[in-house]
C-alpha cells in the first residue's frame, strides 16, 4: 500500500478477521524509515474500540526490535472500578528468545508467572479488579518480562446495566517496589533552584469544563512508585490569571476530578476557575518539554452518526511566568489528503475545547463518503498540550493524547 502525504486509510478488524477467536493484533510496517527519522520501523496507527456502546481510542505503540531489552510496567488498581483488566503482550518478533518467554505478573501481594506462547502473535494476562473491595494506595498490578515491546491494558466494567470500556498503552515503571522500600532523597540544589525561580518540572493542567459541556476532566497519579500524595495546586482564572496556590495532600486513592480539586479551596468562587495546575516537585529531574518548543500534533478525525470529535488544548507551561498567547492552526485532511484549515489563538494558562464540527461547519461534507481523515494542530512558537476527545450518543467518552514529531 502506498500512502501520499496527508492520506488516511481505514482498516476494520471485522473485515480482516471476520471469524477470529481470542485476542488479535495488527502490525504495520513502513519500508521508508526516513518517514520516522530513522528511529524505528513503525507506522502511527489510531484505533477505536467499542464494547456495548462504550468507546475508547488507542494509538499505535513504539515497538523496537530489542532482543536484549526488557519490559516492566505497573498500574494502580485504584485507578479502576470493579470488573477485570486485561494486559496484552505482543509476540511481534521472530526473535523471541527463551529469556522473553517467562512473564512475571503482580496482582497486589500475589506474584505469579506465565509463559508466552511462541506460536501466538499475542498473549494476554487477565486480572480481576476490586470486586467490592475498598481501593488502597500502592495496590499494583502489572507484568515484567525479557525483550522489549509495548503492551496495552483494557478495563472492562459493568455498572447499572451499562458496559464501560477503557484502555491505553502502558507506561514503563520499575518492579523495584517488590524488593525495596520507597527512596527518600533530600531536595537537591538544582530542584530547589528551579522551585525558587518558579519552574515546575511536572505540571498537569486540569481544565475545569462548564457544566453544560456534560464533560469533566480528572487525573490519576496512583500508578507512580513511590506513591505521590503531596502536591501543589495552582488555580487559574478563565482568562489565565493565577488566583491562588496552595499545598494539597491526596487523602484517598483513585481518580480525582476537577470539581474535587476546585473544592479544596473556598477563597475563589468556583465559576472563576478555568484551570487547576497540579504539580509535585519530585526528588529527581525528568527531561521536560513544558518550557519551550513548538506544536505539531496529530489525531484522527471521524464523521459517524452519533459521534463528535474535538481537541482539548491547553496553553500551559512549567514556567509560571509564561505569558505567550499562542497562535495555532488546525488542519483537517480527508482520506485523500485534501485540506481545509482554520486559525485560532489561545491565551497562556487557559484551555479550549475545539469541536471539529463547530470549527469546520462543512466537516462531514469535507470528510465525504469515507467519513474519516486526520487532523494536525501546529503552532510555531508555543508548546500546546492536545487531547483527542470523542463522545457518542451512548453517553460514552474517550480521551487519548494527540501525538507529534
Size of the chain, expressed as the number of residues it contains? 405
What sign results for the dihedral spanned by CA atoms 169, 171, 175, 181? negative
pLDDT at 242 over 90: yes
- The residues near 157 (Cβ < 8 Å, ≥ 6 apart) are 80, 81, 82, 83, 129, 163, 164, 166
pLDDT averaged over the chain?
A: 86
Determine contact, residues 16/8, Cβ cutoff 8 Å.
no
Tens of pLDDT, residues 353-363? 999 999 999 99
What is the dihedral sign for C-alpha 172, 174, 178, 184? negative
Strand order in the sheet with 385-391: 350-355, 308-315, 385-391, 397-401
Q: Which residues contact 268 (CB under 8 A, 6 or more apart)?
A: 235, 243, 244
- pLDDT tens per residue, range 217-234: 999 889 888 888 889 999
What is the CATH number that goes with domain 295-404? 2.60.290.11
CA pair distance 249, 230, nearest whole angstrom: 5
Q: Is the pLDDT of residue 307 over 80?
A: yes
Q: CB-based contacts of 349: which residues, under 8 Å, 6+ apart?
A: 205, 236, 240, 241, 242, 275, 277, 315, 316, 317, 322
Exposure on the CB side of residue 7, measured as CA atoms within 13 A: 7
Cα 281 to Cα 228: distance, rounded to the nearest angstrom:
10
Q: Please spell the DSSP secondary structure of 336-377, one letter per residue.
A: T--EEEEEEEE-TTEEEEEEHHHHSTTHHHHHTTTTEEEEEE
Asked if omega into 226 is within 30° of 0 (cis), the reply is yes
Q: How far apart are CA 86 and CA 65, in angstroms?
A: 24
C-beta neighbour count of 155 within 10 angstroms: 19
What pLDDT does 95 receive?
64
Chain centre to alpha carbon of residue 395: 20
Sign of CA dihedral 3, 9, 11, 15: negative
**Over the stretch 12-52, which tens digit does the pLDDT of each residue have?**
988 998 988 888 877 777 666 555 555 544 456 889 999 99
CA 139 to chain centre: 21
DSSP secondary-structure letter at 289?
S
H or E element, residue 189: helix 189-196
pLDDT at 397 over 60: yes
Contact 342, 361 (CB under 8 A): no
Lowest mean per-residue pLDDT among 24-28, 74-78, 293-297: 24-28
Q: Are 236 and 277 in contact (CB under 8 A)?
A: yes
Output the pLDDT for position 23.
84
Q: What is the pLDDT of residue 113?
A: 93
Whole-number pLDDT of residue 286: 40
Which among 300, 318, 319, 320 has a CA at the least distance from the CA of 310? Answer: 300
Ordered by start, the domain boundaries in the chain are 13-178, 189-279, 295-404
| Percent of the chain predicted with pLDDT > 70 | 89
Amino acid at each position: 500500500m502506498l500512502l501520499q502525504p496527508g492520506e488516511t486509510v481505514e482498516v476494520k478488524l471485522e473485515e480482516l478477521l471476520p471469524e477470529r477467536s481470542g485476542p488479535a493484533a495488527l502490525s504495520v510496517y513502513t519500508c521508508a524509515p526516513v518517514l520516522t527519522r530513522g528511529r524505528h520501523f513503525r507506522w502511527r496507527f489510531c484505533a477505536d474500540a467499542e464494547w456495548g456502546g462504550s468507546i475508547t481510542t488507542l494509538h499505535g505503540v513504539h515497538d523496537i526490535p530489542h532482543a536484549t531489552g526488557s519490559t516492566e510496567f505497573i498500574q494502580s488498581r485504584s485507578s479502576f472500578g470493579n470488573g477485570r483488566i486485561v494486559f496484552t503482550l505482543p509476540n511481534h518478533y521472530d526473535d523471541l528468545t527463551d529469556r522473553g518467554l517467562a512473564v512475571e505478573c503482580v496482582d497486589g501481594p500475589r506474584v505469579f508467572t506465565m509463559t508466552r506462547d511462541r506460536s501466538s502473535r499475542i498473549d494476554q494476562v487477565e486480572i480481576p479488579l476490586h470486586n467490592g473491595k475498598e481501593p488502597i494506595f500502592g495496590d499494583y498490578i502489572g507484568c515484567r518480562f525479557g525483550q522489549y515491546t509495548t503492551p496495552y491494558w483494557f478495563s472492562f466494567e459493568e455498572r447499572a446495566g451499562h458496559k464501560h470500556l477503557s484502555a491505553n498503552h502502558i507506561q514503563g515503571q520499575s518492579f523495584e517496589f517488590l524488593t525495596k522500600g520507597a527512596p527518600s532523597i533530600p531536595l537537591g540544589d538544582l530542584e530547589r533552584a528551579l522551585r525558587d525561580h518558579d519552574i515546575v518540572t511536572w505540571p498537569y493542567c486540569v481544565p475545569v469544563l462548564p457544566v453544560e459541556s456534560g464533560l469533566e476532566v480528572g487525573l490519576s497519579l496512583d500508578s507512580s512508585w513511590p506513591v505521590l500524595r503531596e502536591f501543589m495546586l495552582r488555580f487559574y482564572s478563565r482568562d489565565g490569571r493565577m488566583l491562588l496556590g496552595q499545598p494539597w495532600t491526596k487523602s484517598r486513592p483513585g481518580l480525582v476530578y476537577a470539581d474535587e480539586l476546585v473544592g479544596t479551596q473556598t477563597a475563589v468562587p468556583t465559576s472563576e476557575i478555568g484551570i487547576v495546575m497540579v504539580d509535585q516537585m519530585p526528588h529527581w529531574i525528568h527531561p521536560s518539554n513544558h518550557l519551550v518548543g513548538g506544536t505539531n500534533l496529530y489525531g484522527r478525525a471521524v464523521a459517524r452518526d452519533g459521534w463528535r470529535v474535538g481537541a482539548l488544548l491547553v496553553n500551559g507551561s512549567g514556567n509560571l511566568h509564561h505569558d505567550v498567547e499562542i497562535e495555532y492552526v488546525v488542519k483537517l485532511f480527508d482520506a485523500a489528503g485534501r485540506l481545509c484549515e482554520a486559525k485560532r489563538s489561545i491565551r497562556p494558562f487557559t484551555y479550549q475545547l475545539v469541536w471539529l464540527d463547530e470549527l469546520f461547519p462543512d466537516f462531514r461534507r469535507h470528510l465525504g463518503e469515507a467519513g474519516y481523515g486526520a487532523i494536525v494542530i501546529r503552532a510555531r512558537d508555543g508548546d500546546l498540550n492536545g487531547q483527542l476527545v470523542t463522545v457518542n450518543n451512548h453517553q460514552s467518552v474517550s480521551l487519548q493524547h494527540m501525538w507529534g514529531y
